[in-house]
A and B are shown apart, each in its own frame.
Chain A
């Protein structure tokens, strides 16, 4: 009952959610291989040194620098022959590709697995995480995306064999134009130990810089509510929630965020939650370990002064 991990790379590093996928796979299978689609054969190195992988299967082609989902899903579907499980970390990368693989293999994929109960039974969230469902798959092959916050991140320490696959790369009816990546020196949102998150209460992009300042002092990542992103205070990849990123840091500091269920869906598993809000009835406060009920600008000034 072997498992194949679809690896997601961030530059030349293996993403944290791929490491979570390996841990999830180890609960299902004794034999785990990894699949990498890339334009650079050097990418086999970081994957081969992951702990828990037998063989790294590489598909290397210049066309795979920014692979289209049409091409990626066909290649993954072909590579699946002989495997029972395809597992990837939950992300926009895997959620784009896996369901289309499902179409080719006639399999119903399962998204956002948070717990593995048996070889075909999984727990996953519904309704923005307000309901957890235990579901059983009747398919012969199973395609899973797993939440990076729900599984340990498999460390380095392995030395897997590397095998090059050379399938023909199909024509694509989609062309890559550009990628606008946010550059940041701060810790990455989904793996940070601390997050300072700002909402509509910040009022403007200029004021949102106060959140970034505080984040730097706490060595924290920056997060945001949808309202803050929609208002243009910060770019979309900082959004936490049902339709943004799911995080579970040690510390989540929510500043000027009311706590709509869609926001809570992305951060309610945080270890310690601290709220700064002037409204004593903000739903966010009920979830908090610490509440500082005050004007957020006063609080941020106090915090910044204190850390001088």
Chain B
């Protein structure tokens, strides 16, 4: 079984997003970037399947500017076999529909029957790409998964999905796309020797234009504004009595 893991390079999730006054866009110039945390979990799950003998090849794919190669190398250092880099000239505002069309093209070429990806990218918080991709390919879909069990004949997979009302378990026939939630596993770190080894692993570069996919924006960003948390004038309290009298005054009890 061949597994494809689409990964995204994003602003480090522990960094506050800021707007550049000149460009009026989120400032990524000198920002700390990282692999989307959900994609790290997807990589980990694929590696576990490879190590258990269920998968024979793991491939990461990422679409982005030159710096995206760093993120692909990180995945290779974690243990992924090879990488496909879809190169864009500038930080194109690619939308999930475009990303999904590009990924569908690569998945068809590679004939992969299991795609493991993040449930959402923590920059745009779209939570769409896996779902769209599954529709384009007509693959079965398991979103927000926190548990993944491949059947012994490797023809289906049982997944637990974290949904608003609890946990849903479904059996998906392969080929399938799963989008992973945070509690699926603990991603590993790349060890130093593996970081060295990763440099010689195969990384194929494909120019986005060569795929012939229409990436005209469907959605135009008109403006962005910072809406971080506003500090409130906090008042100190020190007893249950004060707690109740304050809340009564505020009219929230």
Binding site for B on A (CB under 8 A): 10, 66, 68-70, 73, 91-93, 95-104, 106-112, 121, 125-139, 172-182, 190, 193-194, 218, 226, 229-230, 235-237, 242-243, 245, 250-251, 260-262, 264, 268, 271-275, 285-294, 299, 302-303, 305-307
Contact = CB atoms under 8 A, between A and B. Distances in A.
Contacts of A179: 165-169
Given A99-B96, A126-B224, A289 B235 contact: yes
B236 to A, nearest CB: 6
Contact of B165 (A10, A111, A130, A305): A10
Interface stretch (B50-58, B77-85, B205-213, B239-247): B239-247
Contacts of B217: 138
Contacts of B14: 260-261
B102 interface: no
A127 B122 contact: yes
A174 B164 contact: no
B235 A291 contact: yes
Nearest to A270: B252
B194 to A, nearest CB: 26
Interface string B133-173: 11110011111101000000000001001111111111111
Contacts of A261: 13-14, 16, 229
B132 interface: yes
Given A126-B26, A132-B224, A137-B218, A290 B237 contact: yes
Contact of A129 (B129, B183, B227, B240): B227
B124 A126 contact: yes
Interface residues of B, number: 84
Nearest to A285: B234
A99 B221 contact: no
Contacts, number: 263
Contacts of A190: 164
Contact of A245 (B134, B164, B167, B236): B164
A288 B11 contact: no
Interface of B is mostly: mixed
Contact of B229 (A135, A245, A264): A264
A105 to B, nearest CB: 9
A181 to B, nearest CB: 4
Interface in B1-60: 11, 13-14, 16-17, 19, 26
B65 interface: no
15 contacts: A95-B127, A96-B131, A96-B144, A127-B123, A131-B26, A138-B217, A176-B170, A237-B163, A242-B125, A290-B234, A290-B235, A290-B246, A291-B235, A291-B237, A292-B243
B227 A287 contact: no
Most B CB within 10 A of own CB, among A99, A100, A236, A299: A99
A239 B19 CA distance: 29
Contacts of B240: 299, 302-303, 305-307
Nearest to A306: B240
A127 B134 CA distance: 25
Given A174-B141, A243-B181, A133 B164 contact: no
B247 A272 contact: yes
Nearest to A77: B135
Contacts of A100: 131-132, 134-135, 141
Which of A109, A128, A285, A291 has the most C-beta atoms of chain B within 10 angstroms of its own C-beta? Answer: A109
A134 B225 CA distance: 9
Contacts of A275: 234
Contacts of B237: 290-292
